[in-house]
């Protein structure tokens, strides 16, 4: 029997995240992986927006939003979620719709794959990470970007999972309980659903704020996945753009597909250029 294939999976529900996924897919291709790259996309994205992903040999899979109750959708609508659980550390772009995050769970329906590694569309893969396919469900890195206390929580921008119709059904049942409110959407839910989650090294999901909040932790040679949480590198002049300039420049090199530097050769915080 031939072993089941594996896949990197991302999610795109609007043209902005399609841009993100283009840079991500190009970065994954550059690692010479043998795994598939699957882009889950909703009907909110046009063929034109997805064209560059086809060129990068991604497999496009159209998905619907999850079958959730009106009350659930209302509680997790952007204005209600931002009101009940305000973001105090950074700012979410206007094109970010919290409810869309839950579509990530559709990954468990991709049962043609043995293992799947989900990666947010606002990330870049800087090194080959195929070994993650050998890691168990559910593996994720801690949500570290400010202090040691962050190690208590996971970040759902990168995770290892095993597609399974049974798991998907159990998740749906656990997700939409009367009154359930997941303040950080899929991330809070996954932490709850997999209380014994396995910890990946922080370098498997290095969050951009580490660059200025915890510079001692930054090491370009070690970073396998760079994740632009909160403000996105393609937003024009966002509030943290000056502080994140080298990271933003790197994202644009991947997005445009030219003059991509060797990330391992970039200066760490405080090092001369
Ligand atoms: N996403 C999407 N459309 C949305 C919101 C989220 O396609 O309106 C997908 C996309 O893959 C994105 C991920 O869900 O990278 C999680 O959202 P985001 O990365 O903006 O959250 P953050 O990393 O800032 O917490
Ligand atoms: Mn993200």
From the CA of 13, give the closest atom in ligand 1: 7
Q: For residue 220, report the distance from its CA to the centre of ligand 1, in Å.
A: 24
Q: Domain for residue 208, yes or no? A: yes
Domain that holds residue 144: 5-265
pLDDT score for 198: 98
Q: Domain for residue 99, yes or no? A: yes
The stretches of 78-217 forming alpha helices (DSSP H) are 78-84, 165-175, 185-193, 210-213
Q: Domain for residue 271, yes or no? A: no
pLDDT score for 196: 97
Q: Domain for residue 270, yes or no? A: no
Residues with C-beta atoms within 5 A of ion ligand 2: 120, 122, 157
Q: Domain for residue 231, yes or no? A: yes
User: How many domains does one find in the chain?
Assistant: 1
pLDDT score for 130: 98
Radius of gyration for the chain, computed over Cα atoms and rounded to the nearest angstrom: 18
How confident is residue 270, by pLDDT bands cut at 50, 70 and 90? confident
- Whether the pTM exceeds 0.95: the reply is yes
CATH of the domain at 116: 3.90.550.10
Cβ atoms of 54 and 12 within 8 Å: the answer is: no
Q: 151-196, pLDDT tens digit by residue?
A: 999 999 999 999 999 999 999 999 999 999 999 999 999 999 999 9
pLDDT mean across residues, the chain: 96
Q: For residue 25, report the distance from its CA to the centre of ligand 2, in Å.
A: 15
Q: 89-123, pLDDT tens digit by residue?
A: 999 999 999 999 999 999 999 999 999 999 999 99
Q: Examine the pLDDT at 52 and tell me if it is beyond 80.
A: yes
Q: Examine the pLDDT at 223 and tell me if it is beyond 90.
A: yes
State the ligand closest to the CA atom of 187. Answer: 1
Q: Examine the pLDDT at 2 and tell me if it is beyond 80.
A: no
pLDDT score for 5: 96
Q: Domain for residue 89, yes or no? A: yes
Q: Domain for residue 272, yes or no? A: no
pLDDT score for 4: 86
Cβ atoms of 138 and 197 within 8 Å: the answer is: yes
Q: Domain for residue 103, yes or no? A: yes
| Calpha distance 18→20 (Å, rounded) | 5
């Amino acid at each position: 029997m031939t072993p089941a294939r594996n896949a990197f999976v991302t999610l795109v529900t609007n043209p902005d995240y399609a841009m993100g996924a283009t840079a991500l897919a190009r970065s994954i291709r550059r690692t010479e992986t043998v795994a598939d790259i699957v882009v889950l996309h909703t009907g909110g994205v046009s063929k034109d927006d997805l064209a560059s992903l086809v060129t990068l040999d991604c497999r496009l899979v159209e998905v619907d939003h999850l079958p959730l109750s009106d009350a659930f959708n209302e509680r997790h609508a952007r204005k209600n979620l931002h009101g009940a659980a305000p973001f105090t550390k950074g700012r979410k772009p206007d094109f970010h719709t919290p409810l869309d995050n839950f579509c990530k769970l559709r990954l468990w329906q991709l049962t043609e794959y043995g293992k799947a590694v989900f990666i947010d569309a606002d990330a870049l893969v800087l090194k080959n990470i195929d070994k993650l396919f050998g890691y168990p469900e559910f593996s994720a890195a801690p949500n570290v970007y400010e202090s040691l206390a962050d190690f208590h929580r996971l970040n759902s921008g990168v995770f290892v999972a095993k597609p399974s119709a049974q798991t998907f059904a159990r998740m749906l049942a656990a997700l939409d309980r009367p009154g359930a409110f997941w303040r950080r959407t899929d991330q809070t839910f996954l932490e709850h659903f997999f209380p014994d989650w396995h910890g990946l090294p922080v370098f498997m999901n290095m969050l951009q704020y580490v660059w200025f909040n915890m510079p001692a932790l930054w090491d370009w040679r070690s970073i396998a996945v760079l994740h632009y949480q909160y403000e996105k590198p393609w937003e024009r002049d966002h509030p943290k753009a000056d502080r994140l300039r080298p990271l933003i420049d790197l994202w644009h090199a991947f997005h445009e597909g030219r003059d991509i530097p060797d990330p391992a050769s970039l200066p760490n915080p405080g090092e001369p250029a």
